[in-house]
Amino acid sequence: MRDFIKYIIKFLIGGERAGTLSSLVGYTSDPNKFSHYRVVIIPSPFFRDEVYGTAESMPGLPLNEIEGVPLLFGSPKVEWYGDTWVVHADIVASAYFLLTRYEEIRKRNVRDIHGRFPGKESLPYKAGFIHRPIVDEYGKLLRRWLRQARVQSATDPTPQIQKVWLTHDVDAPFYCRTFRNLIRETVKGIGFAQAWKIFCGPLREDPFYTFPWLLEQGNELKKAISKERCKSVFFIKSGGSSVYDRPYYKLHSKELQELLLLCKAENGRIGLHASYDAGKTPALIAAEKELLEKQVGGAVNYNRHHYLASCEPEDMDWLEKAGITDDFTMGYPDVAGFRLGTCRPVHWINPENKRISSLLLHPLTIMECSLNEPVYMNLSYEEALAYSLQLAGQVAESNGELVLLWHNDSITDRIKPNVSVDWQRKLFAAIIEELKKA
């Protein structure tokens, strides 16, 4: 059995006994081998050389279901073959398709203006399961089938969110702390008098400097569920020259250094916010990481791409080469949910060569602007809260990670009245309150 198939089966089973239990699961259509296993999954044609990478490898809609779970490949047929439970639902190929972003290598021409594959063009969205981590549901089915085949140790864990990642992309750390900002606000914004007051005043009075409040929310959650189960990460830009990388900020500036010291004091981790330019030219990632590390004074191992613009699946290779160990980019900008079909961290598998990498992907569950932007989901506050809590419930059922992304400048309430800003702050606080009960 090839390494990537073994990994998928172990990932589906999950838990400390995944290695042992995976040896009881076969992925074969050879009846002579069925007796070697307790559960056998019959392979679909997906991985065949003459099929993989062709139009024939794409699932057709509507999808079949097995025990209420959407199935991308195979059929829902199940049967006993002697003492072996034989499943014709190819949950291995189905999981692989989602975990690797395989769909995107088959649809290279489907990209938005930023080079991103749109969530609303994805199979999970079109098939109606973007809100469900169906790869994790496959794992639950597989454990049930093992128990049915008298492997009683294949138990389901008690539902619980294993970890909450409170992540924040620092696109615009400050509102008015440079002469360029001062001129902008004098000419087009709040006027010279108010702009000058912010420019000359203490950093905590800058409207975008909401980091103390974000860290406070994180600390409150840590008190409730433990610091091991909650982490705050701030992704900082260190490069980029495109218009989409604006505003540019200097890592060595007094204000940025004060932010870094605050994060260190409050145990907020620093990650690289790879620039928009690096999304287009991923060879730039290593230099941006090195520059940030010089300012931070230590290793930077986490990354999230600016604009979530990790454009091609194989571009992840550049992150691994640069020494990034964990990436938090994998969510769709235009729709919140489970882009990879899972809410558990998973090693990146390159769909071009099926290589399992050392890079660990932490799927992004919710980005605040996905919920309310008119061009995205366009939800009201009540709808956004209900949907967010529904996703959090799915994460708990799958014993996964809840990864939230709230920008520091999306929750300011000190410039001018803004309904969107007001409810983004309120929504974040409401989600934290619910998570305290988890």
CATH number, domain at 251?
A: 3.20.20.370
Say whether both 229 and 86 belong to one domain.
Answer: no
Say whether both 30 and 169 belong to one domain.
Answer: no
Say whether both 270 and 133 belong to one domain.
Answer: no
| Angle between helix 419-435 and 381-397 (nearest 10) | 30
Q: For residue range 278-326, what is the model confidence (pLDDT) as tens digits? A: 999 999 999 999 999 999 999 999 999 999 999 999 999 999 999 999 9
Range of the domain at 24: 3-148
Q: For residue range 262-276, what is the model confidence (pLDDT) as tens digits? A: 999 999 999 999 999
Q: Which residues contact 28 (CB under 8 A, 6 or more apart)?
A: 34, 40, 42, 43
Say whether both 270 and 132 belong to one domain.
Answer: no
pLDDT > 70: percent of the chain: 94
84-89 and 39-41: which strand pairing?
Answer: parallel
CB 411 within 8 A of CB 424: yes
Q: Tell whether 191 is covered by a domain.
A: no
Task: Name the band, by pLDDT with cuts 50, 70 and 90, for residue 1.
Answer: low
In terms of pLDDT, which residue wins out, 122 or 179? 122
Number of domains within the chain: 2
Give the separation between CA 323 and CA 299, rounded to whole angstroms.
9
What does the angle CA 424 – CA 425 – CA 428 come to, to the nearest 5 degrees? 85
Q: Tell whether 154 is covered by a domain.
A: no
Say whether both 167 and 136 belong to one domain.
Answer: no
Nearest alpha carbon to residue 392 among 104, 175, 79, 163: 163
Q: For residue range 22-58, what is the model confidence (pLDDT) as tens digits? A: 999 999 999 999 999 999 999 999 999 999 999 999 9
Say whether both 80 and 122 belong to one domain.
Answer: yes
In terms of pLDDT, which residue wins out, 138 or 199? 138
List, as one string, the DSSP characters of 224-269.
HH-GGGEEEEEEE-----SGGGPSP--TTSHHHHHHHHHHHHTTPE
DSSP state of 49: T
Tell whether the torsion through CA atoms of 326, 331, 337 and 341 is positive or negative.
negative
pLDDT > 90? residue 4:
yes
Q: Tell whether 195 is covered by a domain.
A: no
Q: Tell whether 136 is covered by a domain.
A: yes
Mean pLDDT of the chain: 94
Give the separation between CA 420 and CA 423, rounded to whole angstroms.
5
Strand order of the β-sheet with 230-236 is 346-350, 355-361, 326-327, 302-305, 269-274, 230-236, 163-170, 401-405, 366-367
Say whether both 261 and 376 belong to one domain.
Answer: yes
64-66 and 69-71: which strand pairing?
Answer: antiparallel
Residue 199's pLDDT is 64
Q: Which two tokens stand for residue 273?
A: 């916010």
- Overall size of the chain counted in residues: 438
Q: Which two tokens stand for residue 20?
A: 């042992």
pLDDT > 70? residue 73:
yes
What amino acid occupies position 102? Answer: Y
CB 233 within 8 A of CB 268: yes
CB 175 within 8 A of CB 181: yes
Q: How far is CA 433 from the centre of its chain?
A: 22
Nearest alpha carbon to residue 371 among 404, 401, 330, 415: 404
Q: Tell whether 181 is covered by a domain.
A: no
Residue 37's pLDDT is 98
Q: How far is CA 293 from the centre of its chain?
A: 23
Residue 313's pLDDT is 96
Q: Tell whether 189 is covered by a domain.
A: no
Say whether both 251 and 128 belong to one domain.
Answer: no
Q: For residue range 224-277, what is the model confidence (pLDDT) as tens digits? A: 999 999 999 999 999 999 999 999 999 999 999 999 999 999 999 999 999 999
Residue 202's pLDDT is 79
Say whether both 117 and 168 belong to one domain.
Answer: no
CB 407 within 8 A of CB 235: no
Task: Name the band, by pLDDT with cuts 50, 70 and 90, for residue 191.
Answer: confident
Say whether both 113 and 220 belong to one domain.
Answer: no
pLDDT > 90? residue 351:
yes
Q: Tell whether 178 is covered by a domain.
A: no
Say whether both 374 and 404 belong to one domain.
Answer: yes
Give the separation between CA 307 and CA 313, rounded to whole angstroms.
16
Largest CA distance in the chain: 83
Q: Tell whether 342 is covered by a domain.
A: yes
Q: For residue range 94-118, what is the model confidence (pLDDT) as tens digits? A: 999 999 999 999 999 999 999 999 9
Task: Name the band, by pLDDT with cuts 50, 70 and 90, for residue 176.
Answer: low
Residue 117's pLDDT is 98
Residue 396's pLDDT is 98
Residue 189's pLDDT is 73
Say whether both 257 and 398 belong to one domain.
Answer: yes
